[in-house]
Structure 1
Amino acid sequence: MQRFTQGFYGYAFAMAVCLAGVLAFLFVTPYSTTPHIPRVDYTIDVANMRRAAPYQVWTPEPVPAGWIPNSSRMTDAKGVVTWRLGFATAEQKHAMLIQSDERPAAEFANRMANSDRATGTVQIAGETWEQRYREDKNQRSLVRLLPDATLVVTGTAGWDELTALATSLKQQPKPAGSPAPTATPVPAATPTATG
């Protein structure tokens, strides 16, 4: 037995035992080919938006089946409150809800959609949304200009999935004691060329 614990033979024996253990571990560990998508909890951003935004916040209720919220970013810069909420969809595409009171509203919508050209309109839950499509980026967008905010639903997801997200949107009430949202007129849209 001593020859297995000394010199080269001891080293080789120890390595073989370790290698056998690693192989056994790999053999019994399940392997998944499905990519791991990080999930974020955006409830804190919803609460912060409800307090900070001068408009009523829109959230998906419920989130479409099989979707995973994977990004949430709220910004409050110089009195402009914007929230971007991203999802991995059931079809493994990307969809994002963007809302803001940035002005001019039309310029904000153009920037978020990467296009200033409407390809049509669609009725979703009784409301009119403008459709835009940026072919070179494979980006579809639904745009709705409200008196106090702009809503953009955009991404590489198909029209059916973007429509599902827009359909799920519900307005959240302002917290008790918050000032009521003030409606400001939306200036007339001035088309600008985008590259």
Structure 2
Amino acid sequence: MRRFTQGFYGYAVALFVCLAGAGLFLLIAPQSREEHIPRLDYSITVANFGHSVPYGVWAPQRDPANWISNSNKIAKGENGAQVLTIGYATAERQHAMFAQSNEQPAAGFASRMANTDKTIGTQQVGGATWERRYREDKNQRSLVRMSPEVTLVITGTADWPELAQLAGVLQQRPRG
């Protein structure tokens, strides 16, 4: 009995017992092969944002097909302006975020959200013209739309068609 508790044999027996225990645990422990992305409802956040800003708030009228809204918040931007952000996992499981604010200067807000101030062209979505911006080192694409009252930015690692999908479901809600 002593030869199994000392030296190489003791080490080998202890190692075998540990590996057998770990294998048994992995065999009987429940495992999920499904992805789990938490879904967060943004409707209350959008309503609260609408009560705190002097313009009609933009928000998705519905989520794009197979997208999961997984974050939302109201934050303070520069000069005390309110910023609404809604984050998504897209159908292709890339990241996309919608942000809006009346922060001034609008170009500064757009550049901060897009992580670049370089415009690489424009894109038409639902009759509206959006600036395209791209930051290669972060693989970040952005659509930017500035108006006198609010700046809208859609940004993330999603490709241009997916970003356009989100832009296409945005709708301005009446103030109130």
Assess same fold via TM > 0.5: yes
Alignment partner, residue 55 of structure 1: 55
Shift of 1:33: 2.3
1:70 aligns to 2:67 (yes or no): no
Q: Which residue type is aligned with residue 56 of structure 2?
A: Q
Q: Distance in 2 between matches of 1:120 and 1:63?
A: 26
- Secondary structure of the structure 1 residue equivalent to 2:50: helix
Alignment partner, residue 39 of structure 2: 39
Shift of 1:79: 4.5
Q: Distance in 2 between matches of 1:106 and 1:79?
A: 16
2:54–2:175 CA contact under 8 A, matched in 1: no
- Taking structure 1 as the reference length, the TM-score comes to 0.73
Q: Distance in 1 between matches of 2:136 and 2:127?
A: 28
For structure 2, the residue ranges without an aligned partner over 5 or more in a row are 1-20
Q: Distance in 1 between matches of 2:55 and 2:80?
A: 12
- Secondary structure of the structure 2 residue equivalent to 1:50: helix
Corresponding pairs, count: 153
- Secondary structure of the structure 2 residue equivalent to 1:115: coil
Alignment partner, residue 123 of structure 2: 122
Alignment partner, residue 137 of structure 1: 138
Q: Distance in 1 between matches of 2:115 and 2:80?
A: 24
Alignment partner, residue 101 of structure 1: 102
Q: Distance in 2 between matches of 1:122 and 1:32?
A: 41
Q: Deviations over 1:92-150 (max 9, x none)?
A: 00000000011000011111111111110011100100000000000000000011010
Alignment partner, residue 16 of structure 2: none
For structure 1, the residue ranges without an aligned partner over 5 or more in a row are 1-18, 176-195
Alignment partner, residue 88 of structure 1: 89
Aligned pairs (5 A) from 1:110-189: 110-175=111-176
Query: How has the CA–CA distance of structure 1 residues 34 and 120 changed in structure 2, closer, same or farther, with 3 Å as cutoff?
Result: same
Shift of 1:76: 4.6
Q: Distance in 2 between matches of 1:71 and 1:81?
A: 17
2:57–2:172 CA contact under 8 A, matched in 1: yes
- Taking structure 2 as the reference length, the TM-score comes to 0.81
- Secondary structure of the structure 1 residue equivalent to 2:144: strand
**Structure with higher helix content:** 2
Q: Distance in 2 between matches of 1:81 and 1:56?
A: 13
1:26 aligns to 2:44 (yes or no): no
- What is the RMSD of the two structures over their aligned residues, measured on CA atoms? 1.9
Alignment partner, residue 13 of structure 2: none
Q: Distance in 1 between matches of 2:66 and 2:94?
A: 12
